Structure 1
Amino acid sequence: MNSSTAAQTPEMPSESQKAALITLLSDEDPGVYQTIRDKILSFGHESLFWLRPHTLSSNPALRRRVQEIVQHFARKEADNRFLAFCLTEGEDLNLEQGAWLLTQTQFPDTNLEAYQALLDSYAGELRERIDPRGEAEHIIGNFNDYLFGVLGFTGNEQNYYEPENNYLNRVMDRRTGNPINLCLVYLLLAKRLRLPIVGIGLPGHFICRFQSSSEEYYIDVFNKGKLWTKANCIQYLLYGNYPVSDEHLAPVTSRRMLIRMCGNLHQIYHNLDRHDETTRLQRYLIALAK
């Protein structure tokens, strides 16, 4: 076992070798950079200790390339955390935690506490505007006025298949995204306000549903909270030649929603021929399917 481990992880370079590797990192030849990068990566996370000081180098090329390698290791750590989450959490997993862990696989430096505080502040503003004992239409109307009117969230129709529509930090930064991630923001705020809102995974679209003991509304978050009835949902299914079944109108579990988010990204990266990213998302889907 020890000999196998030693064979897989090369011995750390000497100080003179480290200096030579750092010098070669700023070489203008892309082929040289790729060779040196691969060599440094072969040393594993231990190389971060002598690489990190050079993220502040006065040499722009060196600084950029060292930062790229540091980011690679950070994304790998985030990848392992998200995979562990997918493998160990159940059907009712913490969706907010899962969404942030997924975000860090692409943006490892994301300040989760800052974004969570921002969601808390949005919920605080909504709490002042909404009477939870009021009629559903008024609750949803005030919710929508704030989210889409005041904050300016909207569906990204022009660049629907852009990867950034699928990462929660970028959806909040840009205030635009695809249906499921805009619904994610809606659901995270609704949870903070304890509103009876759930996600509904229609084929080819994702919406929310508000349901109390006496009222039911479907909410097309991608289209600025346009209200649907159950009859509208059935019309959507019929128009798209989808089978009309209770399954399509049932609330989606947190795990199923995370699977769908990863599935969207997998398809997007596949269409963009980004093979490493496609493989990464495939691993998450396999883990979530177990």
Structure 2
Amino acid sequence: MKSREEFAAIVADPAGSLARACLLMACEADPDLDVDAALGRLDALAEIVGAGLPGEARPAALGRHLRATLGGDAGFGGSQADYDDLRSSLLNEVLVRRRGLPILLSTVWVEVSARLDVPAHGIGLPGHFVVGIGDPERAGEPAEGPDAPFVLVDPFAGGTAFPTASAYALLGHEPTARDLRPWDTPRTMLRILANVSTWARRADRLRTRLWALELSLLVPGCPAAVRREHGEALARAGDFAGAADQLEAYAIRVEEDHPLAAKTARQDARVARSRLN
């Protein structure tokens, strides 16, 4: 499909448009989605947020303004119930409902900030996704107080400050600049797609799982295990030839480092091919 071709081109670029990649992903769930109209919602949000944006402000002040506008006035945030709703992973739905998973809400913050030249970046932590505001080269420095060069905020909680102690609890150690470096578009999309794929593990969500895995395979840096998962999903869908091809491709990729996994995948590929008879 044309949308997949465009998606592949965007995610091949670390600086590719995250919003557009997210919306092209959402076209898999809604083929009639108007991507440009959805992008227009982000432009409109940026106009609202930019109206009162403090000039020459420090990161903490910028964070407070974004919290007041995006988290407060616009009402973007999340709750535990949002984790079992596919719409929470679809940017077009998040922009309308103003509810979503942490990584999608962070995407809204980052995309609005980019339109206003606010230095905001998405940052993936174990089990959570937040936004860093300020100079990413100074991430990991003491980030408390009004003059901090870099602060973390939590869009899932409406944009409240995300203290160092919270990052420590997730990481198991004091956060470093490496832990808090900005995530690029390919890496972020892989995590979004992994969320969708995990949500779609139920048998009645197989079609969604298939497109999530297929898009993941288009992203540079996609883990080898995704190819095996795709093969297994194709087998469940009755595409035994496709399943065997994917399992064999996985085996070739991992056989040097994981010979047992490669052997098992080849056995599964043979079983899939036998079901063609």
Q: Could you tell me which amino acid in structure 2 is paired with residue 90 of structure 1?
A: D
Q: Give the structure, 1 or 2, with the largest relative contact order (CA under 8 Å, sep 6 or more).
A: 2
Structure 1 residue 170, shift from structure 2 partner: 0.5
- Structure 1 gap ranges (5+): 1-75
The 8 Å contact of residues 78 and 108 in structure 1, kept in 2 or not, is answered as no
- Using structure 2 for the length normalisation, give the TM-score: 0.69
Task: Give the aligned partner of residue 7 of structure 2.
Answer: 82
1:230 aligned residue:
164
Letter in 2 for 1:270: R
Root mean square deviation, CA, Å = 2.3
**Is 1:96 aligned to residue 19 of structure 2?**
yes
Deviation at 1:113, TM superposition (A): 2.4
Partner residue, 1:160:
83
Paired position in structure 2 for 1:21: none
Unaligned runs of 5+ in 2: 139-147, 222-277
CA shift, 1:130, in A, is 1.0
Q: Distance in 2 between matches of 1:141 and 1:166?
A: 25
The aligned residue for residue 283 of structure 1 is 214
> CA distance change for structure 1 residues 216 and 244 in 2, over 3 Å: closer, same or farther?
closer
> Deviation of residue 263 (structure 1)?
0.9
Alignment partner of 1:177 is 2:125: no
State the 1:245 CA deviation. Answer: 6.3
CA distance in 2, matches of 1:272, 1:163: 15
Counterpart contact for 1:166–1:178, Cα < 8 Å: yes
Partner of 1:19: none
Whole-Å Cα distance in 1 between the matches of residues 180 and 171 of structure 2?
10
- The structure with the greater share of residues assigned to helix is 1
Runs of 4 or more, structure 1, over 6 Å off, are: 242-245
Distance 2:64 2:72 in 1: 11
| Structure number with larger C-alpha Rg | 1
How far the C-alpha of 1:279 sits from its partner, in A, is 1.8
Q: How does 1:1-290 map to 2 (within 5 A)?
A: 78-79=3-4, 81-83=6-8, 85-86=10-11, 89-212=12-135, 215-238=149-172, 247-271=178-202, 273-289=204-220
Structure-1 separation of matches of 2:166 and 2:174: 14
Deviations 1:66-121, CA, capped at 9 Å, x for gaps: xxxxxxxxxx55445535655xx222222122112111111122222222222112
Separation in 1, partners of 2:156, 2:21: 21
TM-score by length of 1: 0.66
Confirm or deny: 8 A CA contact 1:82 1:105 kept in the other structure. Answer: no
The C-alpha deviation readout for 1:24-72, integer Å capped at 9, x for no partner, is xxxxxxxxxxxxxxxxxxxxxxxxxxxxxxxxxxxxxxxxxxxxxxxxx
